[in-house]
Structure 1
Amino acid sequence: MIKIEHLALKDIANTYYKAIIPKINTRIEFVEIALDYFTQKINFQEVIDSPVNGNTKNSILSFFLTLKIKRASDHNLAIPANVEPWITANPQKLYDILAFLKDEGNLKELILVEPLEAYDKDLALQAYFNINKQDDDLTIFKFLNIILDYDLFGAFSYDISTKLGLNACPYCNRVYINTVMKEGGQQIIRPTYDHFFSQSKHPFLPLNFYNLIPSCYYCNCTLKNATTIMHDTHLHPYLDGFGSDALFRIVISDLYPNISDSRNYKVVLQDAMSNFNPKRRKIFGSASTEGNNNLFKIEDVYNAHTDIVGELVHKADVYSRGQANSLKKLFGTLSTNKSEFYQFYFGNYYHEHDYNKRPMAKLTKDVLGQVIPEFFK
């Protein structure tokens, strides 16, 4: 896994916070109006007069009711008699949650709380509001989801991924996740965004900036999905990456005469950590449910790319056969340097902080470090 790094990361996060807050506040205001109506504090005209978008209005009203409001002509069904029973059983808890979210400081913390504090913050709030994930409290999760609605994030997803400039998935560094827009702003493709702490278990964090990880479809939806993880059992991309603590290594698995033949190689992820390094659990896990290597099947998926390994070994072999010293002398003559030559010859980025720019960057560096270590001296 590759750490997400950006010099202006906090600025990107703060810009997102300032832009999404008005949308969340609009949700809060209408949810409170709807709750006031269904608890018979105001009349329905105040609901009708709310400037909130019609589709949003219908979906929020439907949330409170035993039936669905699909269009304005259905508004006559939005009466207290049709309210879900859990509403009348939990009104004060709902008002308490709304009061908490209406506080600007509280909402800012939920959007910008950093990964190390996010998990504990969410659990503390669940305990504070006595949300037990059972029976009616499951609906409290849904109540939070209509306010801190992940759909609101869509309007900012392209802007954030463009600013972050990630071209390769940070979880696997194997798949492109480019953001592509046409001139004029037409949106074409972008990364998926994984909730590091899942929405289904952490209802206060669905719009948290650092909880939304730009990633590929395979890592997000196929491998991780809604798996329960924590920052002490798995690496969080905004906190750390494999770095030099876990290295791709190749093992000779056969002896086909063509040195580049993919059948000659097997890829393993080697533990290169000192004893008692807490990252070991996060990378390799102390149980099958722990560790990024287990969760994202790193060794398995990388062994689907032994053709790339074969090509790297072949290039390294050509480079090392009496050419290394002469090529190094040419760096100055060609107005280039080691990292530029590396990118040109081996087809990937030399420096770790650039690994997010192209898939297989870590594999490339680790394999070459194994077969031509003299190049990196």
Structure 2
Amino acid sequence: MIKIETHNLDQVAQEYFDQVKFKCLERARFYKKVFNFLYGSGTLNALQNDTLHGKTKKRIANFLLEHNKMKTLAHFGNLVPANVYQWVNDHEQTIFGLLEFLDNVDNLRQLILIHAINSYDADSDVQSTFNINYGQHQNTIFPIINDIIDYAFFDDFAYNIASSVGINSCPYCNRIYINTVIDKNGKHIIRPTFDHFFPQSKHPFLALSFFNLVPSCYYCNANLKTATIITHQTHLHPYLEGFDNGCSFRVVISGLHPNISDPRNYKIVLQSDIPSYSPKYRKIFGTRNSDGTHNLKEGNTNLFKLEDIYNSHTDIVGELVLKADRYSKGQSKALFSLFDLLGTNKTEFYQYYFGNYYHENLFHKRPMAKLTKDVLQQVLQSFF
């Protein structure tokens, strides 16, 4: 996994918050008008004249109504305690408190700009403050929160954020391009998906949190991670850390086939030099059991099936080994002596000859960057 490192993250996050906050506040304030009217302190005119889209207003009202659903905006008068679901009346004070909390720009700033390391605790603290949880309120109070901190709002900003962050390969797998493309007319073409590191279903207050939204490929997001429950203790967060030297691709070479580039000659394994009791080892591989196996519910290598998936790319390993072999046969000294004459250096030559980036802080620019360097460090030690 590759750590997301770009110089302007805080600025991009602040610009995003400065725009998205208005959408959240508009939705929170309409909910307040609905509940004020429902319990006698609001007016019908306040509901009907609110600038929120009519379909949205009707949908919100009908979510609360058990009887006499609204068919048109003229039916707001149906919002009386006798017509709403019992849970609405039972949680009246809790919902009022939540609406006051979410109709506060400072509270929204805290939730949307919260740093990755603090986000889980921040969501848990708010849930605890209002005594709500997924198990009891997933179909009642949680949908109200999800409707105010609405992930659908993010679509308006996703292309700009993805373009500004500038991550070209998936940080979870470093295997697939996730470039953002906007044509010369400003038309949106493609962008990465954004994974909720902590799933919005169980962490609704983080649905729009900048550092909880990880640009990633479709396969890692939708096929592998999905809504898996993870923590900072069990998995790596791309905004906090990457594999670095804690995990390396190693190649087991069989040499059974005469063509050195034949992919059948190679098997890719993931190894680590850090001790198995270290916190980072757990986040990469999972806790080691007494029988030597790992807890497969922990660790990014398990969650994203990295060893299995990378073994579908042994053809790349074969090509790298072939290039390394040809480079090492009497060419290394000659090439090093030519660097000055060619006006280049080892880093540039590496990128040209092996087709990827040498420095770890640039691995996000191209898929397979970590695999490339790890393999070459194994089979071409003299270069490094």
Normalization by structure 2: what TM-score? 0.94
Aligned partner of 2:292 in structure 1 is: none
* 1:1-377 mapped onto 2 (5 Å cutoff): 1-66=1-66, 72=72, 75=75, 78-80=78-80, 81-136=82-137, 138-274=139-275, 276-286=277-287, 287-376=295-384
Q: Deviations over 1:63-90 (max 9, x none)?
A: 2223797974684685324322211111
Q: One-letter code of the match for 1:321?
A: K
Secondary structure of the 1:119 match is helix
Secondary structure of the 1:244 match is helix
Could you tell me how far apart the structure 2 residues matched to 1:67 and 1:24 are?
A: 28
**Percent identical across equivalent pairs?**
51
Q: One-letter code of the match for 1:343?
A: Q
Secondary structure of the 2:47 match is helix
- C-alpha RMSD over aligned residues: 1.8
Checking the alignment, whether the CA contact within 8 Å between 1:254 and 1:264 is kept in structure 2 is yes
Q: Deviations over 1:98-140 (max 9, x none)?
A: 1112222211110111121111111111111011334456411
Structure 1 residues 257 and 74: alpha-carbon distance in aligned structure 2, compared to 1, 3 A threshold: farther
Structure 1 residues 258 and 243: alpha-carbon distance in aligned structure 2, compared to 1, 3 A threshold: same
Could you tell me how far apart the structure 2 residues matched to 1:58 and 1:311 are?
A: 60
Q: CA deviation at 1:159?
A: 0.6
Residues 123-132 or 274-283, more deviating: 274-283
Q: One-letter code of the match for 2:187?
A: Q
Could you tell me how far apart the structure 2 residues matched to 1:57 and 1:273 are?
A: 55
Could you tell me how far apart the structure 2 residues matched to 1:309 and 1:125 are?
A: 48
Could you tell me how far apart the structure 2 residues matched to 1:365 and 1:78 are?
A: 66
Checking the alignment, whether the CA contact within 8 Å between 1:131 and 1:137 is kept in structure 2 is no
Residues 236-245 or 113-122, more deviating: 113-122
Q: CA deviation at 1:365?
A: 0.5
Q: One-letter code of the match for 2:52?
A: V
Structure 1 residues 71 and 327: alpha-carbon distance in aligned structure 2, compared to 1, 3 A threshold: farther
Structure 1 residues 77 and 44: alpha-carbon distance in aligned structure 2, compared to 1, 3 A threshold: closer
User: Which 5+ residue runs of structure 1 have no aligned equivalent?
Assistant: none
Q: CA deviation at 1:250?
A: 0.4
Secondary structure of the 1:82 match is coil
Could you tell me how far apart the structure 2 residues matched to 1:7 and 1:135 are?
A: 41
User: Which 5+ residue runs of structure 2 have no aligned equivalent?
Assistant: 288-294
Q: Deviations over 1:261-320 (max 9, x none)?
A: 001100001112146432100000012100000000010100010010111111111111
